[in-house]
Amino acid sequence: MEDIIETELDSMAIILHAGNAKSSAYEALVEAKQLKFENFALQYSEAKKELNLAHRAHAELLRKLSAADKMKEVDLLLVHAEGHLSSTAFAVDMIGELCEIYQWKGSIING
């Protein structure tokens, strides 16, 4: 039973950090739309930091499962956490790309 609790807590850590990353990334996007690029950089940096923490939690969980030879015992919460992590990584990357477009737009507007 203890292994299940540890897996659940690790899965929740992935979800927590991925959620924080996604929130910060979308806050960064709001700043980019308003052409506030310094604020964008702060929020985007926070998003990348949280995404890194989520990836670390995921890697650690996979190491634990592998070391205990329990890779076949993946639960639904872990599957959810991995899906959340993947979609967040995509969102953070795309928001970074969108900011480049907004910076280009800002350079045209500001001449």
* Structural domain total, the chain: 1
Res 73: pLDDT: 67
User: Which residue range is the domain that position 6 belongs to?
Assistant: 2-109
Of residues 74 and 49, more confidently modeled: 49
Q: What is the pLDDT of residues 5-36, one digit of tens each?
A: 468 889 999 999 999 999 999 999 999 999 99
Cα–Cα distance, 19 to 35 (Å, whole number): 24
Cα–Cα distance, 91 to 39 (Å, whole number): 18
Domain with 102 in it: what CATH number?
Answer: 1.20.58.80
What letters, b where the CB count within 10 A reaches 16 and e where it falls short, cover 39-74?
Answer: ebeebbebbbebbebbbebbeebeeebeeeeeeeee
Name the catalytic one among 17, 58, 80, 84: 80
Catalytic site residue 17?
no
Percent of the chain clearing pLDDT 90 (strictly above): 68
Q: What is the pLDDT of residues 72-84, one digit of tens each?
A: 767 888 899 999 9
The pLDDT of residue 3 is above 80: no
